[in-house]
Amino acid sequence: MLYISVPLGKLVRRVSRLRGGGSALPGLVVEKIDPGFMKRTLSTLPHGVAVVSGTNGKTTTTKMVVELLESQGLKVFTNRTGSNFTRGVAAALLGEVDWRGRLQADVAVLELDEAHAVHFVNSVPPRYCLLLNVLRDQLDRFGEIDKTAQLLQHVAGKTTGTVVLNREDPRVARIAETLTGQQVHYFGLDDSLLSTFPNDDDMRAAPGSPLPAALPEKPHADVVLRKVGPDTADFEYDGVTVTTAMKLRGVYNIFNAAAALALARSICGSGAATADHGTLLTALSQVEPAFGRGESLVVDGQPLDLVLVKNPSGFRLGLKSFAAGGYATMIAINDNYADGRDMSWLWDVEFDSLRDGGVDQLTGSRAYDMALRLQYDNVPIGAVEPDIAPALAAFIREAKGKPKRVFCTYTAMLAIRRELSKITTVEVVS
């Protein structure tokens, strides 16, 4: 059967591409004229649909899962553009289906934010879901952290096959208690690494305080991250610990690699039988960070690291993962809708680690909120300029010959990349 919606949607997609528009419009068109399009197309996939959700790390993790599955010879459909919305998925499908609406893929791996994942699973129940974490992020949109956990619980409940959960995030791990028919797999951390992952409840808590109730006994995890070296990591699965080289930096990203491995093993079938672990590990070692999540560029012959910070836990991990010494530092804080309007979260981050070197440049629509925050942590401040273009130019000029690091919110990062490509040759190294 031939559906008029697909050719029409593809046409809108082309036009909106030419006009430099985003991916939402063509998705909207198809959704309006053919509401069953997405469900119909995705239901034909032999391995079904896997949804990746949680507050932090969705994009990098989704990318890892895709590369792991591809290493096993599967053809994977994914929403690569980073569109977090049902509409974005519909638009991405339009780009991949042929003119008759057929999708040439074995499995779909979709990144969805918590609120939109709920809408999505109501119309397309996934066969797998991977739930990463529940942290304070964009609470102005979702209300409260417990509510966010409920959204993820709903996603897990709609899953028909296997649910993969973060054993170390009590709000996520406890979702298992609400499930009946599904298989549950966990990914976990070695006890020695737990302290490098403060969760939001630990932030102000006295050491050892029992909040929220952790699982009475740690369940067995399918994949455990045991150790992180400068460019290696140790993963344990099937009772064996293996060391692999890693291109990803930061403990946090590597924990997400354990998550990706657990989901890929669920999809391919775990144990020695179905997944080829040699190729899985090779694929894992070659994964590079997704757009914007900790990128290294070269500007004027010096490295410039962009570190995306969008919530307190992300900012704290960013400060912890990258030593401040020897780097010139800029912080760019915007409060556009996509960043979240609320600046309260800056007060949940401690900036002591920047006190010795100071911060050279502050920018963004909330540059002065950031300056005020640093003042209260006694961190020396160089220049403050809310306008990103001149601030970035000044930062690069003043820090000539020094490696640079920029902590930035989402829309600030987009603006910085745009500016960088104008003022200098940008070479992406990883």
Look up residue 33 and give its two tokens. 């004229």
Q: Which stretch binds other proteins (CB under 8 A): 114-122, 141-149, 389-397, 409-417?
A: 141-149
Range 344-363, binding other proteins (CB under 8 A): 344-348
Range 318-337, binding other proteins (CB under 8 A): 335
Do residues 3 and 34 make contact, with C-beta atoms less than 8 angstroms apart? Answer: yes
Look up residue 387 and give its two tokens. 């306008």
Does 136 bind other proteins (CB under 8 A)? Our answer is yes
Widest CA span in the chain: 68
**Got the DSSP string for 294-311?**
SEEEEETTEEEEEEE--S
* Helical (H) or strand (E) element with 192: helix 191-194
Do residues 64 and 5 make contact, with C-beta atoms less than 8 angstroms apart? Answer: no
Look up residue 97 and give its two tokens. 């289906």
Do residues 223 and 235 make contact, with C-beta atoms less than 8 angstroms apart? Answer: yes
CB of 306 to other proteins, least distance (A): 24
Does 87 bind other proteins (CB under 8 A)? Our answer is no
Kindly tell me which residue out of 215, 372, 383, 414 binds other proteins, with binding defined by CB under 8 A. 372
Kindly tell me which residue out of 342, 352, 356, 387 binds other proteins, with binding defined by CB under 8 A. 342
By C-alpha distance, which of 38, 186, 183 is closest to 120?
38
Kindly tell me which residue out of 341, 400, 418, 422 binds other proteins, with binding defined by CB under 8 A. 341
- Between 276 and 369, whose beta carbon lies closer to other proteins? 369
* CA 54 remoteness from chain centre: 8
Kindly tell me which residue out of 21, 73, 212, 229 binds other proteins, with binding defined by CB under 8 A. 212
Does 8 bind other proteins (CB under 8 A)? Our answer is no
Tell me the C-alpha distance between 234 and 225, whole Å: 6
CB of 372 to other proteins, least distance (A): 5
Which region holds residue 54: left if phi is over 0, alpha if psi is between -120 and 50, else beta? Answer: left
Tell me the C-alpha distance between 117 and 425, whole Å: 38
Kindly tell me which residue out of 43, 98, 146, 397 binds other proteins, with binding defined by CB under 8 A. 146
Q: Which stretch binds other proteins (CB under 8 A): 74-82, 202-210, 220-228, 388-396?
A: 202-210
Does 385 bind other proteins (CB under 8 A)? Our answer is no
- Between 335 and 398, whose beta carbon lies closer to other proteins? 335
Tell me the C-alpha distance between 212 and 141, whole Å: 23
Kindly tell me which residue out of 33, 39, 43, 140 binds other proteins, with binding defined by CB under 8 A. 140
Kindly tell me which residue out of 365, 406, 417, 420 binds other proteins, with binding defined by CB under 8 A. 365
**Got the DSSP string for 209-253?**
---SPPPSSPPP-SEEEEEE-SSEEEEEETTEEEEEE----SHHH
- Between 99 and 337, whose beta carbon lies closer to other proteins? 337
- Between 184 and 383, whose beta carbon lies closer to other proteins? 383
Does 47 bind other proteins (CB under 8 A)? Our answer is no
CB of 212 to other proteins, least distance (A): 7
Q: For binding to other proteins (CB under 8 A), which residues are involved?
A: 136, 139-140, 143-146, 203-206, 209, 211-212, 335, 341-348, 365-369, 371-373, 375-376, 378, 384, 386
